[in-house]
Structure 1
Amino acid sequence: MKDRLAYWWFRYGAELALHAKKATAFQDHFNDVMEAVYGSDFVRVRPAGKDGDRKCDGYQQSTDTVFQVYAPSRIDLAKWVSKIKEDFAGAKDQWPSMKSWIFVHNQHDGLPPDTLQALLKIKEDNPSLVIDQWPPSHLLGLTADLSEEQLIRVFGHPPREHEMRALDRGDIADAVAGLALHSGSWTPGAVDLPVVDPGKLDYNELSEYPRRMITAGIAQARMVEGYFDHNPDPTLRDRVGMLMRVEWLKLQKQGTAGDEAFGLLYDRVAAHTQGSREATASLALLAFLFESCDIFENPPADWSGTAA
């Protein structure tokens, strides 16, 4: 992919989805990726009636593969082992055409031994079937081979380098308008915004791709600042900052930080984007707010450089 900013965006989106999405959201992401990779060969299965999904979260027709997705927010080992056994037995009973059964999970650091043993036992007892497990890294590998058009279908329109260079104040005006500001979103003097610190990216535990995107967006910070300086509404800059500061504080209260917080704040700014130009303007606005300390935190004066 020639556009570095678009590449960073897609890599960030692919990695974040696998870490942040749980339960049904993770399953939906799995289905989106599989449809992008395999097209009509893959069929997502939705629950219907009293039998639900009949122990099948997705089906690949060319290989007669039944996929079972399990991505809990919290691991209950006994429940997990029980689910594997029940789901496989149910799939084997209700999908007689099944030649392969794949257990898809969200465990980045590996499987617990009891879980692995349960899978190996199923494999031993069913030598005529292909039994496998897919960790999150497998899905990440699948996205690496997608075309840009396919990536857009899964992750939406990316910001782009050439669009970043071409942004003007009208683009920022559109991004600000998308925030749906109202006068009640700002109270003068309600918060004292500190000065940006060069260690801020480290302190807020942002990984490589959000760092690169923020750095790219900050290149247009002076243009964004010029938009606010020349706007006839003297309160607009502070209202935008306060709105996003409130969003950030809500995330802090929920314990959401780092890459996931960055993604949710971007989604708030870019909620109404229709293409890459709007996505790029949203990133430039978010980077400006990062630099001016409306969102995320400055490291304390005595911070040693170790992530919070």
Structure 2
Amino acid sequence: MEVLSFTERMFVKTMFRDRMADLNGLAFEDFFIRIMTARYADFVEVRTHGSIGDLSSDGLRLHDGKLYACYAPETFDADSARDVKKKFTGDLTGALAKRAGEFQTFVFVYNDPRRGLHPEITQLLAQARRGHAPLAFETLGPRQLLGELFRLVKYQIEEVFGAPIPVEDVVYGVGLEDLKPLLDHLVERRRQTNGQQSPREVSALKMDYNQLDEDDREMLRRGMLHTHLVEENYQGLTDVTERDEVAADFNAYYRGIATVYSTAADVVYELEKYVAGNRHLDRASARALSVVLAYFFETCDILAEPPTGWTPPAREPALT
């Protein structure tokens, strides 16, 4: 069966982000159920039915013993945190009463791609783990849901979105007109800083050191083919300090999110959102985004540099 090419995966990632930005409540539950139904043959969606309700779940994997409950408020503030805590407690209590013996893992599914789990919810999950052993508890957020989506084949993903995935283009060009909106956005976001080191070339070890996954590596490799356009843009400006100010701001933002997110994939995801702002990314803009990220990656403004003398860990030899 047909799997996605790299460019198709990047397009699907953009489609997913655009869709998630508008999903809450029942719309998010429907989207979640479409992905999980396509992904797992043993997934059973649970719909509200008359007086018995939904039996305190939105889906159940019969063979894996996982019960899924979706929590997708439109906004997440103090009031919605209280509502989610109330619903979580009610769903868990109801599931234990109505579905005893049917599940071994309670999965908390949430929709916020920006902030992750609210601290009050993580505390609630920790309390539930202690109070309901040996029952297991897991979370499933937007990044994990995207991972489930990427395990589908092409026609299934098209069915989930109700739209085709364009198949053209492996070789592409990027022009300054494509880069300018993203560069302008960075200028708007820049802040004054206290002296930054001058940019310099980086070694190929940087991708290994940051443990980037293959999608992000390929995105940066392709972007690096056109990073000279970013340099041309800055060389043509009257304000010779603009590049360094933008880079310093970008670096400061990177350092901030690097303390919050534990994986390189999450950090790259947040950097992409920082560059793109709230604009919709068509295919040309998505390619331009990869060029901007690659430029600041090359010049050591984002992601960590390997220490002097660092070498990648030896890989396990292939089995013969």
Structure in which a larger fraction of residues adopt helix:
1
Alpha-carbon offset, residue 84 of structure 1: 8.9
SS at match of 2:293: helix
The answer to whether the Cα contact below 8 Å between 1:5 and 1:216 also exists between their aligned partners in 2 is no
Q: Which residue of 2 aligns with 1:171?
A: 178
* 1:69 partner letter: A
Q: Which residue of 1 aligns with 2:79?
A: none
SS at match of 2:300: coil
Q: Which residue of 2 aligns with 1:144?
A: 153
CA–CA distance in structure 1, aligned partners of residues 161 and 16 of structure 2: 15
Task: Report 1 or 2 for greater relative contact order, CA contacts < 8 Å, sequence distance ≥ 6.
Answer: 1
Q: Which residue of 1 aligns with 2:33?
A: 34
Root mean square deviation, CA, Å: 5.2
CA–CA distance in structure 2, aligned partners of residues 292 and 278 of structure 1: 21
* 2:68 partner letter: Q
Distance 1:218 1:44, change over 3 A: farther
Q: Which residue of 2 aligns with 1:205?
A: 211
The answer to whether the Cα contact below 8 Å between 1:105 and 1:136 also exists between their aligned partners in 2 is no
Equivalences, count: 246
Alignment of 1:42-61 (within 5 A): 55-57=56-58
Alpha-carbon offset, residue 173 of structure 1: 0.8
Alignment of 1:220-299 (within 5 A): 220-271=226-277, 272-299=279-306
Distance 1:279 1:83, change over 3 A: same
CA–CA distance in structure 2, aligned partners of residues 270 and 237 of structure 1: 17
CA–CA distance in structure 2, aligned partners of residues 222 and 152 of structure 1: 36
Describe the superposition over 1:203-225 as per-residue Cα deviations: whole angstroms up to 9, x where unpaired.
00111111111111111111222
CA–CA distance in structure 1, aligned partners of residues 147 and 181 of structure 2: 38
Distance 1:4 1:222, change over 3 A: farther
Alpha-carbon offset, residue 260 of structure 1: 1.0
Alpha-carbon offset, residue 263 of structure 1: 0.9
The answer to whether the Cα contact below 8 Å between 1:228 and 1:237 also exists between their aligned partners in 2 is yes
Alpha-carbon offset, residue 240 of structure 1: 2.1
> Are 2:195 and 1:196 aligned?
no
Alpha-carbon offset, residue 56 of structure 1: 2.8
Describe the superposition over 1:169-214 as per-residue Cα deviations: whole angstroms up to 9, x where unpaired.
11111111233525x6133633444431110000001111111111
Distance 1:292 1:137, change over 3 A: closer
Q: Which residue of 1 aligns with 2:311?
A: 304
Describe the superposition over 1:27-86 as per-residue Cα deviations: whole angstroms up to 9, x where unpaired.
9977534346879xx98989xxxxx98613369xxxxxx962389xxxxxxxxxx99973
Alpha-carbon offset, residue 137 of structure 1: 10
Alpha-carbon offset, residue 302 of structure 1: 1.9
Q: Which residue of 1 aligns with 2:5?
A: 4
Distance 1:43 1:257, change over 3 A: closer
Distance 1:36 1:137, change over 3 A: closer
Alpha-carbon offset, residue 242 of structure 1: 1.4
Alpha-carbon offset, residue 105 of structure 1: 3.6
Q: Which residue of 1 aligns with 2:125?
A: none
Alpha-carbon offset, residue 275 of structure 1: 1.4
* 2:240 partner letter: P
The answer to whether the Cα contact below 8 Å between 2:69 and 2:107 also exists between their aligned partners in 1 is yes
TM-score with structure 1 length normalisation? 0.59
Describe the superposition over 1:213-258 as per-residue Cα deviations: whole angstroms up to 9, x where unpaired.
1111111111222122223332222222112101111022335341
Moved more, 135-144 or 265-274: 135-144
SS at match of 1:69: strand
CA–CA distance in structure 1, aligned partners of residues 292 and 304 of structure 2: 17
SS at match of 2:228: helix
* 1:139 partner letter: E
Alpha-carbon offset, residue 149 of structure 1: 5.1
SS at match of 2:196: coil
Distance 1:136 1:84, change over 3 A: farther
Q: Which residue of 2 aligns with 1:217?
A: 223
Q: Which residue of 2 aligns with 1:76?
A: none
* 1:7 partner letter: E
* 2:286 partner letter: A
Indicate the percent of aligned positions where both proteins have the same amino acid: 19
> Are 2:68 and 1:68 aligned?
yes
